[in-house]
Amino acid sequence: MIGKLIASGFGDFLNLFYPDPCLLCQNSLQNGEELICTVCRLQLPETGQHRGDALMAGQTKFAGKVPVEFVDAYLYFTKRGKTQRLIHALKYRGHKEVGHLLGRWYGYQLKTDSQLNEHIDLIVGVPLHPAKLRQRGYNQSDWIAQGLSEALEIPWSDRALTRSQYTISQTGKDRMERWENVSNVFQVGEPDLVANKRILLVDDV
């Protein structure tokens, strides 16, 4: 405990001289800022969909297979934009804590602006292919799920869904074949966790 206190005190001390840079603009982070500076945060291309009536149902590949109540996205994606750079840091530069931060920010918005949290029982990240999970060491969607869980005060699980080794290309397949393909790839991990639950499924792109 004392060792930890000293270590964290020493970290603060070092930060006086070498403050962490913002992941996006490289400017030094100020007190209370975490990973992304306030200027960059305010420039994030939020969709704001959850504030309107754009919580779309039934327009996904799940349409007609699993009852989907809504679909929403936190940020717009533009090539070489802030979202792409954050996703890149999250997936390829080991910054899993970016997922947790974005999940929290999004979760607080959802809680403030919608009644969504009253309609969800469990938060689940889409599992990574096992080979990719071994290579990366973490599932970025699980980190987003944990951030959402903290903000929305709803449990999350990384055991509800599993993903098999089996993957075949989705290109050149029609809608039905793609669905059959996906249903072979994902399985329910622990049926008791998901039975009769309303699930918020989290994917990173």
Binding site for Zn ion (CB under 5 A): 22, 24-25, 37, 40
Residue with smaller CB distance to Zn ion, 93 or 173: 93
Q: Which is nearer to Zn ion, 81 or 189 (CB)?
A: 81
Going by C-alpha positions, the residue among 44, 55, 19 that lies closest to residue 200 is 55
What is the DSSP-derived secondary structure letter of residue 20?
P
Q: How far is the CB of 22 from Zn ion (least distance, A)?
A: 3
Residue 188 is classified by DSSP as E
Residue whose CB is less far from Zn ion, 22 or 145: 22
Residue 39 or 131 with smaller CB distance to Zn ion: 39
Smallest separation, CB 42 to Zn ion (Å): 10
Least Cα distance to 67 among 176, 184, 204, 196 occurs for: 196
- Output 21 or 58, the one with its CB closest to Zn ion: 21
Minimum distance of Zn ion from residue 101's CB (angstroms): 13
Question: In the bound complex, what is the minimum distance in angstroms from residue 37's beta carbon to Zn ion?
Answer: 3
Nearer to Zn ion, 21 or 130 (CB): 21
Q: How far apart are the first and last CA of the chain?
A: 39
The minimum distance between CB 202 and Zn ion, in angstroms, equals: 25
DSSP 142: H
- Kindly state the smallest distance separating residue 38's Cβ from Zn ion, in Å: 8
Q: How far is CA 186 from CA 41, 53, 108, 132, 142, in A?
A: 34, 30, 29, 15, 16
Nearest to 76 by CA among 54, 58, 61, 93: 54
Residue 123, strand partner residues? 156, 200
Distances (CA, A) of 74 to 38, 45, 120, 160, 162: 17, 8, 17, 23, 25
